[in-house]
Structure 1
């Protein structure tokens, strides 16, 4: 009976959403877990409580963001909520912030099955244009209510994006052999400082499992970021590390937003952009080699 009532409600919703000028707005709160980074800091005697507090505050700004999704029946734009830059937040922090899913406008056209997103990397502007990822959603039987909307669960396994730092996991140092640990310690003592290659501390999974909750009560094929392909607006996405949750929905507001693709930047495919990012990061790591950049130093 519950599913029948929901089906009837969805049919009425389809009628109301059929109008030509239909448009909606959804606010999403994105939060990425930093527990592995925090545990690594807590185990490092070189980081004082004051330093840890400062790092955690900066990490919170990078890993907790608010996004706005404006959508109609065929397209959408997803963009981070505009905020004034915090004092002392230099280009390095803005760079890391953009690698955590912020910055730029993400345009999806579900009718044409394409997307366009403008990105800034190392002072250069890129315009990534590609086909929307084909997500093989598995429809689950579980239901829940989010913001007053009845939602259904769906899961999918997707390749991890190499240019999105949120997909990286900290490596388990316990996996190192005892001989390697002693050699590393001896080298640190000889040089008089502790050095940690940032890239060598990270591990990239090949695939990640996505859990999404969508509502047929808003029958649009849209969602946050690159997520789409379900018979209703996606209100929550969880990849095991990052949770994107809808906190507000406004339908058919009098104030309309122009939903169009960004145009500035060098046009590249997603694969070309990912390769550019990884190549530059590797170059920076090799070039600095303990002298800054992606190297994290802590004097004894």
Structure 2
């Protein structure tokens, strides 16, 4: 009986998707775990209580809700606007965090034309990242599980790392042991940026629903025979909490136009220079990050 019901749902969904004016909406909850290895050799002067408070606050800021509006060929993915809670440090801290993770506004991708455009902002300067949609070579794993009412199937892939997102940094091999070998004064004078590195690629795990025959997903994830309802890179997980097909109030799924147009590689280079600028600023006496130069 369950197989018959699933088959009927798939048929109805397919018919709905084929409609000329089809549009759907999916809500994703994003959670990012902090790297424990990095926190172990971070600031040695922070008390355990202060460290716990900072980690809790960062965890709250990294828990986000995103909305994906999609039709048969294109989609718009963006964060749901929320009011800051009094204990979250206010909008300024959230804006700083957004800048350090290559903060974005609207994220548009067109799987027919194989292009994507993302609104990005770094410390007050706006960019429009425009590039070819990267092809993802998926490996079907043969596993399945339920996400809500949908039977989803597992797929994995190795993809390049977004070098504009500082959350992708990881400790260098042997960095913790190197810090442990230093005395207190040497630890204080060690630049944290010298102890971390940016990997070139990462493994992602996705779960897609063939009952929703749309080759879309959150961020730049696409290319599977069904809507991606969950995707994880081991640190950040995006899980779909709601799907609405054939929405009554249709969204404008159009390419964004705001910001200075750059390619993905150019934006990563800009972000790398900004990180280097901050590294030099905090060397020695330290200081406060300002607006983008140029």
Moved more, 134-143 or 57-66: 57-66
User: Equivalent residue for 2:20?
Assistant: 20
Output the TM-score relative to the length of structure 2.
Answer: 0.87
Note closer, same or farther for the CA distance 1:294–1:163 as it changes in structure 2 (3 Å cut): farther
The one of 260, 273, 279 equivalent to 2:267 is 273
Whether 2:65 is the aligned partner of 1:66: answer yes
Note closer, same or farther for the CA distance 1:210–1:294 as it changes in structure 2 (3 Å cut): farther
Q: Which segments of 5 or more consecutive residues in structure 2 lack a partner in the other structure?
A: 290-294
Deviation per residue, 1:76-120 (Å, 9 max, x gap): 111111012455436454122344465411011111110101111
CA distance in 2, matches of 1:132, 1:76: 13
User: Equivalent residue for 2:90?
Assistant: 89
The one of 225, 239, 247 equivalent to 1:245 is 239
Deviation per residue, 1:179-210 (Å, 9 max, x gap): xx33x53445xxxxx35533223222221011
Q: Is contact 1:139-1:154 (8 Å) kept?
A: yes
User: Equivalent residue for 1:75?
Assistant: 74
> Number of paired residues?
286
Q: Post-superposition shift, 1:165?
A: 2.1
Note closer, same or farther for the CA distance 1:45–1:157 as it changes in structure 2 (3 Å cut): closer
User: Equivalent residue for 1:298?
Assistant: none
Output the TM-score relative to the length of structure 1.
Answer: 0.85
Q: Is contact 1:196-1:290 (8 Å) kept?
A: no
Q: Which segments of 5 or more consecutive residues in structure 1 lack a partner in the other structure?
A: 189-193, 296-300
User: Equivalent residue for 2:219?
Assistant: 225
Moved more, 160-169 or 286-295: 286-295
Moved more, 282-291 or 229-238: 282-291
Q: Post-superposition shift, 1:47?
A: 1.8
CA distance in 1, matches of 2:143, 2:69: 27
CA distance in 1, matches of 2:161, 2:217: 18
Map 1:105-184 → 2, pairs under 5 A: 105-171=106-172, 172-176=174-178, 181-182=181-182
Deviation per residue, 1:227-271 (Å, 9 max, x gap): 000111000001111111101111222111111121111000000
Q: Post-superposition shift, 1:176?
A: 2.0
Deviation per residue, 1:127-149 (Å, 9 max, x gap): 00001111001112111110110
Note closer, same or farther for the CA distance 1:281–1:39 as it changes in structure 2 (3 Å cut): closer
Q: Is contact 1:166-1:242 (8 Å) kept?
A: no
Q: Is contact 2:102-2:122 (8 Å) kept?
A: no
CA distance in 2, matches of 1:197, 1:177: 11
Root mean square deviation, CA, Å? 2.8
Q: Post-superposition shift, 1:214?
A: 0.3
Q: SS where residue 245 of structure 1 aligns?
A: strand
CA distance in 2, matches of 1:280, 1:177: 25
CA distance in 2, matches of 1:186, 1:54: 25
Q: Post-superposition shift, 1:38?
A: 7.8
CA distance in 1, matches of 2:208, 2:18: 19
CA distance in 2, matches of 1:177, 1:117: 38
Q: Post-superposition shift, 1:288?
A: 2.9
